[in-house]
């Protein structure tokens, strides 16, 4: 530790690995992925490796100036390891918790190649990630003590601040270290190119529009007039899984991007500028032969649903949004969707309307439900409607069993509202995929 410093440098090494093994076993989350030392809480909150790797592969190394990749709240170091492997740069992690910092340093060591000279400049600093002056001084001192006379600058900053685990909505001021302090603290230490510094903020997907505006204000205070791109990432579970802000050299020419991740790689991506959409109230059931599509809610939350529609529907295709809120945004349209990976990637289900039902599936009438969908040529149906979550899985299993011997197409059942003079009425629509 340098004199008067509140930071301590850890050099990733075999000795650090031995210390980490006493604290947490090194395991991989999935077969074929690297191993990491993590506690159970760390593993539960950790970024999936394939997401971290995809994110690193999305960065053009040519836009980065010389220097190290910095993670100002490194945690396990998983994302930092992904950056270092893909971008071939030395890595600097800062972590306030000394126990976690040891695990981070060990993870950097076990996931490095023996003899890689760049790895000799890897360090983990125990301390406050917003204290840039103290951290960078401790880093340079550690390099000098190890016989390296270089004073490498910072090529890129990554920040994934901690936030409450159980809150339904998050505020920027709940995050540690504070986003504004980190950005302003490191502003003078970041290398900058024609499009500004390279900064990535990995934030809570529960940030609302007002909170995102606060983040943007913090960015503009630290880096005036710099461009940025918000990215909503979905893994297909009916929610936004990751929300990030790509700043300066990492930004694109659009303000918003939505990404659909598969189990290993990006399935679909769309960029553009957000726009408003209106929903339509239907006074009668939709006609047979029309088409219904449930889209990924991340697409709607990104505000890019209209940009997607421009590509997804054939020319002169009639369409209306029936629902934009919740886990199953619903679109009705006259013609099938255009076939394309970047279109299909944001589709949960799409098909032709073949049946209307006034009542939801129920356990005591599930055989009748199965028989009626079978008469429409459907041998497998997925319930994509609002049902009691305690009963939903049982209903799905019973339907699967009843239709097991039926040779037919795949289908799904969606719910919608019909507005009558007497009030709204739920309608359950069966679609052939």
DSSP codes of every residue in 268-296: EEEEE------B--BSSPPPTT-EEEEE-
Q: What is the mean pLDDT of the chain?
A: 94
* Per-residue confidence band for 425, with pLDDT thresholds at 50, 70 and 90: very high
φ/ψ of 90, rounded to 5, equals: -60, 155
Q: Are 309 and 278 in contact (CB under 8 A)?
A: no
CB 85 within 8 A of CB 112: no
DSSP H helices, 30-72, are 40-45, 49-57
Residue pLDDT, tens place only, 379-403:
999 999 999 999 999 999 999 999 9
**Strand 198-203 relative to strand 228-234: parallel, antiparallel, unpaired?**
unpaired
Segment 345-355 shows an average pLDDT of 98
For residue 168, what pLDDT is reported? Answer: 65
Among the ranges given (36-50, 67-81, 111-125, 313-327), the one the predictor scored with the smallest mean pLDDT: 111-125
Per-residue confidence (pLDDT) for residue 118, from 0 to 100: 76
How large is the average pLDDT for residues 350-366?
96
Q: In the prediction, which pLDDT does 289 show?
A: 97
Sorted by sequence, the CB contacts under 8 Å of residue 22 that are 6+ apart come out as: none
Cα dist. 58→48, 216, 252, 259, 418 in Å? 16, 22, 11, 11, 44
More confident residue, 202 or 165: 202
What band does 3 get if pLDDT is binned at 50, 70 and 90? very low
Given a cut of 80, is residue 167 above it in pLDDT? no
Cα–Cα–Cα angle for 71, 72, 73, rounded to 5 degrees: 95
pLDDT in tens, 52-72: 999 999 999 999 988 999 999
Calculate mean pLDDT across residues 181-210: 95
Residue 237 makes CB contacts below 8 A (sequence gap 6+) with: none
pTM score, whole prediction: 0.93
CA atoms of 63 and 354, how far apart (whole Å): 52
pLDDT at 163 over 60: yes
Burial label for 340, CB within 10 Å (0-12, 13-18, 19+), is exposed
Phi, psi (rounded to 5 degrees) for 15 = -65, -40
Going by pLDDT thresholds of 50, 70 and 90, the confidence category of residue 166 is low
Tens-place pLDDT, residues 273-286 = 999 999 999 999 99
Residue 96 confidence (pLDDT): 96
**In angstroms, what CA-CA distances link 242 with 238, 308, 324?**
12, 20, 20
Percent above pLDDT 90 for the chain: 89
Considering the chain, what percentage of its residues have pLDDT values greater than 70? Answer: 98
Reported as a single tens digit per residue, the pLDDT across 219-267 is 999 999 999 999 999 999 999 999 999 999 999 999 999 999 998 899 9
Mean pLDDT of 135-155: 94
Residue 374, number of CB atoms within 10 A of its CB: 17
| Helix 14-21 / helix 98-110 crossing angle, nearest 10 deg | 120
| Residue 150: pLDDT band with limits 50, 70, 90 | confident
Separation between Cα atoms, residue 178 and residue 157, nearest integer Å: 14
10-49 pLDDT, tens digit each: 999 999 999 999 999 999 999 999 999 999 999 988 999 9
The pLDDT score that the predictor gives to residue 113 is: 82
CA 392 to chain centre: 27
Q: What's the CA dihedral at 206, 210, 212, 217 to 10 degrees?
A: -150
| Segment 173-197 mean pLDDT | 94
Any idea what the Cα angle at residue 322 is, between residues 403 and 268, rounded to 5°? 75
Q: For residue 2, what pLDDT is reported? A: 43
Q: 70 is written with which tokens?
A: 């910095």
The secondary element (H helix, E strand) that includes residue 81 is: helix 78-87
pLDDT of residue 399: 97
Res. 1 pLDDT band, cuts 50 70 90: very low
**In sequence order, which residues have a C-beta less than 8 Å from that of residue 227 and are 6 or more positions away?**
195, 196, 247, 248, 251
Show Cβ contacts of residue 347 under 8 Å, excluding neighbours closer than 6 positions: 293, 294, 295, 296, 337
Q: Is 314 exposed, middle or buried (0-12, 13-18, 19+ CB in 10 A)?
A: exposed
Say if residues 294 and 337 touch (Cβ distance below 8 Å).
no
């Amino acid at each position: 530790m340098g004199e008067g410093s509140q930071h301590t440098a850890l050099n990733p090494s075999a000795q650090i690995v031995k210390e980490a093994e006493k604290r947490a076993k090194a395991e991989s989350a999935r077969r074929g992925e690297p191993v990491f030392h993590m506690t159970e809480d760390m593993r539960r909150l950790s970024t999936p490796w394939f997401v971290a790797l995809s994110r690193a592969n999305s960065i053009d190394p040519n836009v980065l100036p010389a220097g190290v990749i910095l993670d100002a709240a490194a945690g396990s170091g998983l994302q930092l390891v992904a950056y270092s492997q893909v971008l071939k740069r030395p890595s600097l992690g800062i972590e306030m918790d000394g126990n976690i910092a040891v695990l981070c340093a060990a993870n950097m060591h076990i996931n490095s190649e023996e003899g890689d000279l760049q790895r000799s400049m890897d360090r983990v600093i125990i301390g406050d990630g917003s204290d840039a002056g103290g951290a960078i001084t401790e880093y340079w001192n550690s390099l000098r003590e190890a016989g390296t006379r270089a004073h490498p600058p910072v090529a890129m900053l990554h920040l994934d601040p901690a936030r409450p685990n159980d809150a339904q909505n998050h505020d920027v001021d709940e995050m540690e270290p504070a986003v504004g302090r980190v950005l302003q603290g490191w502003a003078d230490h970041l290398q900058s190119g024609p499009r500004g510094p390279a900064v990535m903020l990995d934030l809570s997907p529960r940030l609302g529009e007002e909170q995102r505006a606060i983040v943007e204000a913090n960015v503009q205070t630290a880096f005036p007039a710099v461009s940025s791109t918000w990215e909503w990432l979905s893994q297909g579970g009916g929610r936004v899984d990751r929300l990030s802000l790509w700043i300066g050299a990492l930004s694109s020419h659009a303000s918003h991007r939505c990404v659909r991740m598969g189990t290993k790689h990006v399935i679909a991506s769309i960029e553009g500028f957000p726009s408003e959409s209106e929903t339509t109230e239907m006074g009668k059931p939709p006609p047979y032969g029309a088409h219904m599509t449930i889209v990924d809610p991340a697409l709607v939350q990104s505000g890019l649903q209209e940009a997607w529609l421009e590509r997804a529907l054939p020319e002169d295709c009639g369409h209306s949004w029936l629902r934009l809120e919740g886990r199953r945004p619903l679109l009705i349209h006259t013609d099938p969707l255009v076939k394309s990976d970047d279109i299909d990637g944001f589709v949960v289900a799409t098909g032709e309307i073949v049946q209307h039902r006034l009542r939801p599936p129920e356990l005591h009438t599930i055989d009748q439900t199965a028989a009626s969908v079978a008469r429409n040529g459907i041998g497998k149906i997925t319930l994509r409607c609002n049902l009691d979550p305690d009963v939903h899985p049982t209903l799905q299993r019973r339907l699967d069993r009843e239709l097991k011997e039926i040779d037919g197409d795949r289908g799904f059942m969606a719910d919608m509202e019909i507005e009558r003079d007497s009030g709204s009425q739920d309608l359950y629509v069966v679609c052939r995929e």
